[in-house]
Amino acid sequence: MSPAALACVVALAWGAPQDGYGVHELRLEGPLGAVVLEGSGWRTSVVGEVGPGEVCTLVVPIVAGDAPRGAAPGAPLLSPADGAGDAVLTPAIAAAPEWDALPAGLRRRTLPPVAARLPGPGAAHLALLCAVAVLILAAWRRTPAALALGLAGALACFVLPQRPPQPSAVEVLEGDGASGRWLVVRGAVGTLELSPDRPGWCESIPASAKRRLEVTLDGGPHWALEGEGLALYSLAEAGRLGRLDPERNELADLASVWRRDGAGRWSAHGPWGHDEALPAAVEGGGEPPGWLVSVLPQGVGITVGRAEAGAAGTPRWVRWIEGPSFGERR
């Protein structure tokens, strides 16, 4: 590998900057149908109607970065896309967090993989296929009828409504023993709800012009990351939730736990209750997912676990690295 290629790989692995979004106040005067704010790499869309004469003040997330074209340095470009109203944006009331301010141990974690669970054909599609096949086979000698039936069946396969993709989401609590800080990483495909009014980081794989931060006025406002077909991630600092050292679980009840000691030996420990010491290793405790135990620092104790599923059955995982990560030693 050439030095240039090596430098590139190192930059990718160590830099991996997420896009930080800050919190701004947005004052809307109707009539307005939609407002689009061009951030850096992400656009913020306000979805909803503001009636004539109506005034609405809401808090919106905007990805900070280089100033977009036509905007003052640091200020996002405001463009009322629909309506004759007005929209006024304040400076950030909560600045976008600095990714580099996080401990290195938290910045070097792998993102959990997410993939849309595509539904198979519905019962209507299969019934249609069977009916067409039975009719064609029953009239096997009639070529025009077979072709006509086959064509009609093929068209119907495209016309019949398809079941929507099943939501797929994952949440990981990333803990850093050196600093005691935690990071909440959430991932989903296509759409991901965000905690409103809080700055954080967002990421999409792949980076795409389709990705946006969406604020929905109706029944809200609600914040969400949107991007059809994209793997979307939100990251936010969770503060100091407690340590997860073998002596005591200060975090929460965990359904299954695996631990790697400093020598690199993995062991399964089964469920681990809150405020309890790590149970003894058990046989046949299963395996943690590969992505959860990959690209981890060597020579330090690591605990990974599965927590109780979140809302809508979202799997929740925990990863705790006990000591300073590689590169942080002083």
Partner 1 sequence: MSRSEAALAWVLSVAPCAAWGAARESLGDASRLALAAAVWLALVGFPAAPDPAGRAAGAARAWPRALGLALAPAALAARLDLQAGHDPRILWVTSVVAALLFAVLGEARHAAARGGGRGLYALSWAILGPGGLGLYAALSWAAPGSGEPFAPVAWLARHGPLGWAFERLSVEPAPAPWLGVAASGAILWAAGRIDGRRCSSGGGER
Binding residues vs partner 1 (CB under 8 A) = 118-121, 125-126, 128-129, 132-133, 136-137, 140-143, 145-151, 153-158, 162, 165, 229
Smallest gap from residue 145 Cβ to partner 1 (A):
8
- Nearest-angstrom CA–CA distance, 44 and 36: 6
| CB nearer partner 1, residue 94 or residue 145 | 145
| CB nearer partner 1, residue 130 or residue 309 | 130
| CB nearer partner 1, residue 6 or residue 126 | 126
Is 174 in contact with 106 (CB distance < 8 Å)? Answer: yes
Is 90 in contact with 66 (CB distance < 8 Å)? Answer: no
Smallest gap from residue 147 Cβ to partner 1 (A):
4
Smallest gap from residue 152 Cβ to partner 1 (A):
8
Q: Where are the alpha helices (DSSP H) in the chain?
A: 3-14, 104-107, 123-138, 143-159
| CB nearer partner 1, residue 53 or residue 144 | 144
Smallest gap from residue 162 Cβ to partner 1 (A):
7
Smallest gap from residue 314 Cβ to partner 1 (A):
20
What residues contact 126, with CB distance under 8 A and at least 6 apart?
Answer: none
Paired tokens of 269: 């420990």
Smallest gap from residue 130 Cβ to partner 1 (A):
9
Smallest gap from residue 114 Cβ to partner 1 (A):
14
| CB nearer partner 1, residue 102 or residue 149 | 149
The DSSP code sequence of 223-267 is EEEEEEEEEEEEEEEEE----EETTEE-S--EEEEEEE-TTS-EE
Distances, alpha carbon 41 to alpha carbons 63, 83, 211, in Å: 7, 25, 8
- Nearest-angstrom CA–CA distance, 106 and 326: 12
Residue 297 burial by Cβ neighbours in a 10 Å radius (0-12, 13-18, 19+):
middle
Smallest gap from residue 243 Cβ to partner 1 (A):
38
Q: Which of 206, 297, 15 is nearest to 7 (CA)?
A: 15
| CB nearer partner 1, residue 159 or residue 263 | 159
88 - beta bridge partners?
27
| CB nearer partner 1, residue 11 or residue 133 | 133
Is 180 in contact with 102 (CB distance < 8 Å)? Answer: no
Q: Which of 202, 231, 212 is nearest to 291 (CA)?
A: 231
The β-bridge relationship of strands 77-82 and 32-38 is antiparallel
| CB nearer partner 1, residue 153 or residue 196 | 153
